[in-house]
Structure formats: structure tokens, C-alpha cells
Structure 1
Amino acid sequence: MRILLVEDDKKLNESLAFQLKKEGFLVDTCQDGEEALYYIEENIPDLILLDRMLPFISGTEILERMRQAHNETPVILITALGSLDDKVTGLDSGADDYLVKPFAFEELMARIRCITRRPRRMTQDDQLTLGDLTYCLGENTLAGPEGSCSMSKREGALLEAFLRNSGQTLSRSLLLTRVWGIDSDVEEGNLDNYIHFLRRRLKAVGSSVHLRTVRGIGYRIEA
């Protein structure tokens, strides 16, 4: 799971990121609202830990923008504002949970586990289609004329980026950011490997959908 940690207190940001990584999470961090929106608009995180009081754009405004754009990524607000009115405002803005500072890391982990145990609400967005190809996000399965197959999380994230932008050429840098994260030091050869894996998946299910190489730029998916 990839977590976006938005916290303007540098020491707390670094401490939480370190502990979350020890628990096996992929963690992206930022310290202001504008940078947080960039990550969110790129559909990078699976879960967001969001400070309420941030430079440039507040956490509640970020939440309201997300929900207005029908972005249902789970959000836990982490804030020093702990009155009943503060909690009600935060939850009404679209937060899934509200954690008041200071808090024990064990409590944060319990709340993360609680959110990830919740059954996903199936929506039209849980299935992406292109031509004779269907990708189910919830089950991470790919189906075509000749059958179906399961995919790894990284394969699924890469395919999702293509299907949400079908017919558009996606740059290598954008794909690396979307799938591996903006701070990752992954080598570009890994992207080429996963493009190869996806092409094998498309062939395995008998799909006529193609991943085209656009030399010097990146890749494009076409029906």
C-alpha cells in the first residue's frame, strides 16, 4: 500500500514516515497543501494521512476538492484541533477518520488497519474497459476474449494509468511517478520490464489492445 503523508512539522513528518516504512508501507511525504494536491491528482496514494493546518491550502480544503472531484481515496486527518466542532467539521469535509495529536503510533496503525478492512464499494470506476479488454481494480484481474488472469499490484497500477488515459502518450517520467512514486530511485529499466509483462498479459487473454512505444517520449495504449 502506498501512503501519502502530508504533515508540515518536519520532525513529525520524518518520524512517521520512518515508522510507516518499517511496517512495510510505501510512503510519499510532503509538507504543504499545493504539493499534496499534485500527488492526489496523479492518483498516487492508496491512503492519505492529512494534517489539517497546512501552508498554502488547508487540509479541509484539500478534502473538499477531492470529494467534489469524486476522489474516494481514504483520508485520516491528523491534527492538533481536537474539539467536538473541529472533529465534526473534519469528518463532514470528507475525512474517513480523525486522529488528534499527540497520538501513539500504535493507534495510528490500528486506524489504518480498520480503514483497509472496510469492504470496497463497487462502482463503475472499479472496472476499466478498452476495446475487448476489461480490468477489475478491486480484484486486480484482467479479462479478454480468451480468458482472464491475475496481475501484480505494480502491473495493475501501470495498466490503470494507461486505461484512464487511453489514446494519450504517457511519458516515461509520468509513469515512473505514478507507479513507483515521485521520490523513488527506481531505474528506468524497471519500467521497460513491466511494459513487457503487460504486453504478455494482453497476449495471454487474447486482447487486440496494443501498447505502443512512442520513441523518445513513452508509451500509449490503443484499442
Structure 2
Amino acid sequence: MRILIVEDDADTNRFVARGLTELGHQIVASGDGRDGLFQATEGGFDALVVDRMLPGLDGLALVKALRATGDTTPVLMLTAIDGIADRVEGLESGADDYLVKPFAFSELAARVMALGRRPAASVAPARLAVGDIVVDLDRRTVLRAGRRVVLQPREFVLLAELMRNAGRIMTRTMLLERVWDFDFDPKTNIVETHLSRLRSKLNAGFDTDPIETVRGAGYMIRGG
């Protein structure tokens, strides 16, 4: 899905953008209501995530203006105000769903997917393929040489991140930032533990390990 995020809080914007990108979505981000409306009217989005309070043009006005053009792109509105009247106002402005801050990313992702859902026949699944490994980002499935590999959610994100960067070394710090959203070192072996589990599942029944440990640098899946 191609998703527009209009959120003026930089941390929230980055958090949502990073999480949705990891799920395989294409993200365009804006921090201003007027710019967000301009981006939205350019078209081509499957869903919008719009903050209620924005500089330049607030979220309600943005959605009303968008709907006035006849644009029916689904909108998930974010708000820090937890009140029935505020939710009703947001929905009446043309928003399709409402989510109160603070929120769990898993809930936001599920709501966005529900808003942007299209008949399966018209949606080409986003896939990553390296060697004999195929990852379907929409269906959250992994195949190796045609054999199903069942992974836990974090293992899946870890494998997808390595495959997106096939042929490039991913450092421990990079993986902490992109897979766990840590901007600090937790001083644990969380990366090594998950990689060990991922390798165990991915390599079961195979003689080769596609994940290479580059001593002193990081980890890599070689392209081709």
C-alpha cells in the first residue's frame, strides 16, 4: 500500500513511518496540514494517516477539503483527545476511523490495513526474493525452496530487513534501529538470540546458511 502520513510530531511521524515501511508499505510523510492536503490531492494513495492537530491546516479541515474534491481515499485520524464528541466530529468531517494517542503500533497497522483492503485479485502481493528464499510481505509468509518456514513476528521482520538489504552488511546497531526501533544499545544479546532462532528455522533441512556473519561488522544475506 502507498500511505500518506500527516503528523507534525517528528517522533510519532518517524515511528509510524518506520513501522509501516517494515511491513512493506510505501510511505510519504508530511508534518504540515497544508502540505499534507497538497500531497493528498496529488492522488495515488491507498490510505491516509492524519493527525487531528496540525500546523497550517488542522486535520479536520484537511479531511473536509479532501472530501470536497470528491476524493474517497480512506483516512485514519489520530488524536490526543479521548472524548466521544471529538471522535464524532472527526468522523463527521469525513474520516473513516479514529485512533487515540498513545496507541500500539500493531493496532494502527491493523486499522490501516482494514481501511486499505482491496479484493485479493486486484492487489499484487509485495514480495522479496533472494536465492531460494521468498518473503510475501502482505501474507506474512516465508518459503525456502518452496518449503514453508514459520517465523515469529520479530523473526519475520528481521529476515525481511536483511533481504531488503541483500548484498549489504547490516550492523547490530542498524538492526536494533530498524527491527526493534531502539535508538540505543540495550546491552543484551537480543539481536544474536533472534538471529540464532531465525537461522535454526530457516536452515532446517538445508545444508547451507544464507545469513552470513561478517566478523566485526554485522550480518548479510548475499544477493543472487
Letter in 1 for 2:136: C
Distance across 2 between alignment mates of 1:201 and 1:190: 17
Name the SS for the 2:21 alignment partner.
Answer: coil
1:53 is aligned to 32
Letter in 2 for 1:143: L
User: CA 1:177–1:217 in structure 2 vs 1: closer, same or farther (change >3 Å)?
Assistant: same
2:124 is aligned to 123
The answer as to whether partners of 2:158 and 2:179 remain within 8 angstroms in 1 is: yes
Match of 1:83 among 61, 66, 69: 61
Distance across 1 between alignment mates of 2:69 and 2:188: 40
1:161 is aligned to 161
Question: Scaled by the length of structure 2, what TM-score is found?
Answer: 0.60
* Unpaired stretches in structure 1, ≥5 consecutive residues: 9-28
Overall identity of the aligned pairs, in %: 19
The answer as to whether partners of 1:154 and 1:179 remain within 8 angstroms in 2 is: yes
Shift of 1:164: 1.0
Letter in 2 for 1:128: L
* Unpaired stretches in structure 2, ≥5 consecutive residues: 88-97, 101-106
1:43 paired to 2:16: no
Question: Scaled by the length of structure 1, what TM-score is found?
Answer: 0.61
Distance across 2 between alignment mates of 1:98 and 1:87: 15
Distance across 1 between alignment mates of 2:163 and 2:194: 15
Q: String of CA shifts for 1:126-174, please: whole Å, max 9, x gaps.
A: x211111111223322212372122111111111111111111111111
Letter in 2 for 1:138: D
Aligned length: 189
RMSD over aligned CA atoms reads 4.6
1:25 is aligned to none
User: CA 1:76–1:94 in structure 2 vs 1: closer, same or farther (change >3 Å)?
Assistant: farther
Q: String of CA shifts for 1:28-62, please: whole Å, max 9, x gaps.
A: x617x7xx4995499357899x77528xx954577
Shift of 1:75: 3.6
Shift of 1:190: 0.5
